[in-house]
Amino acid sequence: MPKRSEEMLMDLWMSLLLVWITCVPCVSMTPIAGQSKSTQSGGSTAVASGLGEGQRLLSRAKRGWVWNQMFVLEEFSGPDPILVGRLHTDLDVRNKSIKYVLAGEGAGTIFAIEPLTGNIHAMKRLDREEKAEYTLTAQVINAETDEPLEPPSEFIIKVQDINDNPPQFIKGPYRASVPEMSAVGTTVTQVTATDADDPVYGNSAKLVYSILEGQPYFSVDPNSATIKIALHGMDREMREEYLVVIQAKDMGGHMGGLSGTTTVTITLTDINDNPPKFSKSLYEFVIPEDLPTGKMGGKVKANDRDIGENAKSTYNILEGDEQGMFEITTDTQTQEGILRLKRPLDYESKKAYTLKVEATNIRSEPISGGPFKDTATVKIVVEDSDEPPVFSKPIYFLEVNENAPIDTVIGAVTARDPDATGSLVRYVIDRHTDLERQFNINVNDGKITLAKPLDRETDMWHNITVTATESRNHSQISRAIVAIRVMDINDNAPEFATEYEAFLCENGKPGQVIQTVSAVDKDDPIQGHYFDYRLVPEMLNNPNFTIKNNQDNSISVLAKHDTFRRQKQEMYFLPIIVTDNGNPPMSSTNTLTIRVCGCSKDGIVQSCNVEAYVLPIGLSMGALIAILACIILLLVIVVLFVTLRRHKNEPLIIKDDEDVRENIIRYDDEGGGEEDTEAFDIATLQNPDGINGYLPRKDIKPDLQFMPRGLLAFRNKCLKRKKKQLKGATFLYSS
């Protein structure tokens, strides 16, 4: 039945619309003709009036036809083109020689004019949302010659809107959030719909909003589309997300209007409205007594239905930890309470602990009412375990004199077994910390003795590690550091701080400070150093120098006169005895070297060499060396020349072009056979230059000094034979 009523109502509306469309052109044409006449007569009257008053003549083009704006409904479609309006001119009085022409926007395509009647038709279906109005130009021309009979005139055809566009939510779908437990009427968000229809004409673009889904939790304002809380006590922990459907309807929400919808996803955000709650009221843990400090002994957890920062909690120990044995911290990832050991446990001292632990929200001022905390009981049972020995001190400080004899007891370390069984403890020095084996320890009582002499000036401190081990369980080991300080004794004599070399000017004055001398001592007495300086006894009456104490562990060496000369004595040695204030005092003799130098008038040292006095004025040492080198070179040349001359005057030297074998000797007796051939060496006779390597002999004449040995033997043998056998022999020599 309702559906039938809607169809009848729709038919009624369509009938009225067709009647209105058909009547509009006829109604609009009636005033156009009258207006045209009124305008023409008015124009004539204006002209006549202006001439009568003597004013300036105003020329005005007479318009022979007039029309108003024309209107056409959008989206109208029918079998025939729709009539928009009709143009008419006064020239059209059953005159068949005139013609109407149309130009401008859509002329010929969208709009067409009948040339003889002036009727304008819409040829296509129009959409106001695409184009709301068209500007065209009408003109009357001669039908035969196409000459204009009147000037062209513009007119507008407006497209009238109909409700053909539904509302649209351009930015949808929407997401919004609101805190849980918000009061009724709290604004959540606002949505906006748009309608493409004409907002000025009719109610086609007038929108009204309503909520289709989301009740009774939310409501929407029909005009502003503001969504608000409609239900009290909306809890996120019960339901976190809601889907709301909003409708926008045009025509002011009346029947027949078009509508559009969008969705709004609303999320309830968390507030701190739930306290933490332990999952158990009693927690029990068993912790071994040898658990290292800082290690975890157990976990507790307080759950919170809130999320994020509202669910974070801190844990505290309220009761049962008077000795401060434990601490509890929060794991930021799991929100668990981590129970850690703060001090070592001792089963023999206390076997169990009962703690009261509290969990509290981090937020100090929750939005809802409290209290936002919870408590639980934690029972801890200490488990006995075999513990390593425990030293009485973690670090021992001992002292020993550097001159202490071997086997001197320096000190002792003590350790005990904390277990109830009380095992014996054995002590050992970790030799990695005593590589030179300077110390020993008694394995039973922990007494540390000296194994090698110590020198404080080499090492002042010795750090060794002592291990204590249970005799029944060698795996239970503990360590302690023993720092041994070597105490100083006065076993080093003071000495000059550096190897001094002083310079004394020849033109210096008596009492002039030559050098300031200080001393150092490797020892380190508690009362500090004090040095006493004095000259050796044999130098007490020294006529040249004296010393003066500067009262700061240093002395000044002074000259007694001004008659120091380099040519007389270039260097002086001043022995000084330095004594410290130790017990017993130690002393040493140090020698100060003093050089006499030539100085300028300002006391600046220029030369400390004696040679400067024997040099000619203006002649440097480099020049003297050059002259000496020249003299030596000349002497060498002379010696070589004399040697060469002596070699030329020697008569027994055989020239290279002579041969001893050319000598012919005739004897009256027989030869000596092989004895004669062994008397000389033919190779020697052929090489007379071999004499160069022989030194002169005193038992041979100077003329025969450089004769080869073979030739000399041959000569001597010939002379002997000459004396004995060859009185009448004849010697023939060939040149």
Q: How far is it, in rounded angstroms, from Cα 59 to Cα 145?
A: 28
Cα–Cα nearest to 25, from 118, 96, 143, 91: 118
pLDDT-based confidence at 377, cuts 50/70/90?
A: very high
Dihedral sign for Cα 82, 88, 92, 98, please: negative
Residue with tokens 């110390």: 439
In tens, the pLDDT along 654-692 reads: 444 444 444 444 545 455 554 444 444 555 445 544 444
Of 262-276, 417-431, 619-633, least confident by mean pLDDT is 619-633
| pLDDT (0 to 100) of residue 616 | 46
What spatial distance separates the first Cα and last Cα of the chain, rounded to whole Å?
179
Greater confidence (89 vs 297) lies with 297
Of 9-18, 38-47, 501-510, least confident by mean pLDDT is 38-47
Burial 214-242 (b: 16+ CB within 10 A, else e): beebbbbeeeebebbbbeeebebeeeeeb
Average pLDDT over residues 633-648: 86
Average pLDDT over residues 288-317: 90
Of 8-22, 512-526, 531-545, least confident by mean pLDDT is 8-22
| pLDDT (0 to 100) of residue 55 | 35
| pLDDT (0 to 100) of residue 507 | 77
Average pLDDT over residues 214-223: 92
Domain 277-383 in CATH 3.30.70.2860? The answer is no
In tens, the pLDDT along 51-61 reads: 233 333 344 44
| pLDDT (0 to 100) of residue 49 | 28
**CATH of the structural domain 69-160, one choice from 3.40.1190.10, 3.40.50.300, 2.60.40.60, 3.60.15.10:** 2.60.40.60
pLDDT-based confidence at 37, cuts 50/70/90?
A: very low
| pLDDT (0 to 100) of residue 714 | 67
Instruction: Report residue 508: phi and psi, to 5°.
Output: -70, 165
| 580: pLDDT strictly greater than 90 | no
| 373: pLDDT strictly greater than 70 | yes
CA dihedral 633, 637, 642, 648 (to 10 degrees): 160
Of 206-210, 390-394, 472-476, least confident by mean pLDDT is 472-476
Q: How far is it, in rounded angstroms, from Cα 699 to Cα 701?
A: 7
| 492: pLDDT strictly greater than 50 | yes
Greater confidence (71 vs 713) lies with 71
| pLDDT (0 to 100) of residue 58 | 41
| 65: pLDDT strictly greater than 60 | no
pLDDT-based confidence at 700, cuts 50/70/90?
A: low
Dihedral sign for Cα 227, 230, 233, 236, please: negative
| pLDDT (0 to 100) of residue 378 | 95
Count how many Cα atoms sit within 13 Å of the Cα of residue 210 in the half-sphere of its side chain: 9
Which CATH number applies to 390-487? 2.60.40.60
Q: How far is it, in rounded angstroms, from Cα 387 to Cα 473?
A: 10
Percent of the chain past pLDDT 90, that is, above it, reads 29
Burial 422-437 (b: 16+ CB within 10 A, else e): ebebbbebeeeebeee
Q: How far is it, in rounded angstroms, from Cα 220 to Cα 211?
A: 6
| 701: pLDDT strictly greater than 70 | no
Pick left, alpha or beta for residue 373 (phi over 0 → left; psi -120 to 50 → alpha; otherwise beta): beta
| 224: pLDDT strictly greater than 50 | yes
Average pLDDT over residues 487-508: 84
| pLDDT (0 to 100) of residue 621 | 67
Q: How far is it, in rounded angstroms, from Cα 335 to Cα 373?
A: 14
| 154: pLDDT strictly greater than 50 | yes
Q: How far is it, in rounded angstroms, from Cα 292 to Cα 346?
A: 12
pLDDT-based confidence at 699, cuts 50/70/90?
A: low
| 3: pLDDT strictly greater than 60 | no
| 506: pLDDT strictly greater than 80 | yes
Pick left, alpha or beta for residue 213 (phi over 0 → left; psi -120 to 50 → alpha; otherwise beta): beta
Same fold, 168-269 and 495-607: yes
Mean pLDDT (the chain) is 78
| 93: pLDDT strictly greater than 70 | no
Greater confidence (452 vs 676) lies with 452
Which CATH number applies to 168-269? 2.60.40.60
- Where do the domains of the chain lie? 69-160, 168-269, 277-383, 390-487, 495-607
Cα–Cα nearest to 327, from 349, 302, 297: 297
Which CATH number applies to 495-607? 2.60.40.60
Q: Can you tell me whether residue 480 is helix, strand or coil?
A: strand
Q: How far is it, in rounded angstroms, from Cα 311 to Cα 331?
A: 13
